[in-house]
Amino acid sequence: MKVLKVVVSLLLLLTPLYANSLEWNLTANTTDLNLFSSQYVGQLIYQGEGDNPIEVTNIGPLPYGEASERFYYTHQNESNRWQRVLLEVTLRGHRHSSGKVEILNIDNRLLQYSGDSFTIPIGAGPDLIPNPGFVEGYNSDGVLGRGSNYHYRYPYQFITIELAVTPTSDNNLTGSSTQGIYESNLHFSGDNLALILSLEGRSRAEMVAEGHTFSIEMVAHETLPFDQLIERDSFTNTLRVGVIEYSSFETGATVNFASDATSSGADFQLTSIRNSIPYSLVFESNLPPKRAEKVLENSSGFPTTTLQLKKTTSTHSEVITEHLLSGEVGIYVDKALKNSRLPADFYSTQIYCIITSW
């Protein structure tokens, strides 16, 4: 039995958040390059004016001899090995202190060619209007009106841009040539904003050779205002903070979470020099699909499931077993926190992820 401990740090800022026009909400680390289905790769945070088109272009590396107006993952060392992908964009508006999240594009925007764009339909940001009551503004629920409660310039605090890549049948990945690391660099540009996203992915064949992979992605914003945290106050209304994925062609595993590295305790706290805030941790498994479960002290953990895959080469084929677990981590605080008077400060926490293989 092998045990691996991973630490995830989360920093919360209990003061208003003023972000740039466009920034990354998480770092896109090297991940499994799934050649068969769509996969989530990252998230952007937008604040600014509405009706703002954002153009996405492919800035390389380009596959050898292929058209430059498409999106690709290209092999790091062999440019003649590549996979064409499509980009799927989902926009979510986050209200001010109410904490509500709404999908802004019911039909996700699919970007097929370099230079395609999507549009931010409405403004977002913490800006206040100068004379509430005399001019129209938005309240915390995004309702337009006049009065002391209608003091926001925009209906949303910020907008998240969630990105997924979908592989197409257009590729040059045959036999063992799929092994290795693939890259894709994307440039986002709009009115007074520009950003480059660098993506990397490992092919499935490389994963078979390496045995197993485990990844954690932090999806909560690096800093979070207190008035948004206190709205996440129940098991069914959590703040999504992380996504985990485990894959192994050798061993199954059980994943658990703890508040310290030496035990299976569940005393989760956001702490500053002067104070602390207790919170609860929830894990919802997507694969295998299970209901969300609160992490308790001495929890038995979350085991992997198995998937049978057929591996085919030029000379033979075989069925191999993959052990899989993926899911989302969320947190919530006590409802009584809304009535507390905590001092403004930086509060941070660490969540220990413990993987036990078997």
Tokens of 250: 């050798």
Residues 140 and 160 in one domain: yes
**Residue 70 is assigned to a structural domain of this protein:** yes
Question: Would you call 338 helix, strand, or coil by DSSP?
Answer: helix
43 in any annotated domain: yes
Tell me if 6 sits within 8 A of 128, measured CB to CB: no
> Does any domain span residue 209?
no
Are 84 and 173 part of one and the same domain?
Answer: yes
Q: How far is CA 160 from CA 232, 246, 286, 292, in A?
A: 17, 26, 21, 23
Q: Is residue 215 part of a domain?
A: no
In a domain, 358, yes or no: yes
**Domain CATH number, residue 76:** 2.60.40
pLDDT, residue 337, reads: 86
Q: Residue 286: name the closest of 240, 318, 237, 226 by CA.
A: 240
- 186 and 232 part of one domain: no
Do 6 and 36 fall into the same domain?
A: no
Alpha-carbon separation of residue 292 from 99, 224, 236, 240 (angstroms) = 20, 23, 9, 12
Residues 154 and 239 in one domain: no
Residue at a domain's end among 173, 202, 231: 202
The per-residue b/e assignment along 104-115, b for 16 or more CB within 10 angstroms, e otherwise, is beeeebebeebe
Are both 5 and 67 inside the same structural domain? no
The strand pair at 22-24 and 39-46 is best described as antiparallel
Could you say which residues of the chain have pLDDT below 70? Answer: 1-38, 98-99, 106-108, 174-179, 201-212, 217-224, 262-263, 309-317, 343-345
Per-residue pLDDT reduced to its tens digit, 78-111 = 888 888 888 888 898 888 875 677 888 756 688 9
Residue 188 to residue 210: CA distance in whole angstroms: 34
Domain-terminating residue out of 167, 202, 237? 202
Let me know whether 106 and 179 are in one domain: yes
Total number of domains constituting the chain: 2
**Does 256 share its domain with 127?**
no
Q: Are residues 24 and 73 in the same domain?
A: yes
Residue 123 lies in a domain: yes
Are residues 5 and 98 located together in one domain of the fold?
no
User: Is 230 in the same domain as 195?
Assistant: no
DSSP codes of every residue in 151-217: -BSSSBSEEEEEEEEEEEEEEE--GGGG-SEEEEEEEEEETTEEEEEEEEEE-HHHHHHH-EEEEEE
214 found inside a domain: no
Is 208 inside any structural domain?
no
Cβ–Cβ under 8 Å, residues 222 and 11: yes
User: Could you report how far apart the first and last alpha carbons of the chain are, in Å?
Assistant: 5
Domain range for 346 is: 1-17+223-358
Task: Determine the pLDDT at residue 281.
Answer: 93
Is the domain of 197 the same as that of 253?
A: no
pLDDT at 56: 93
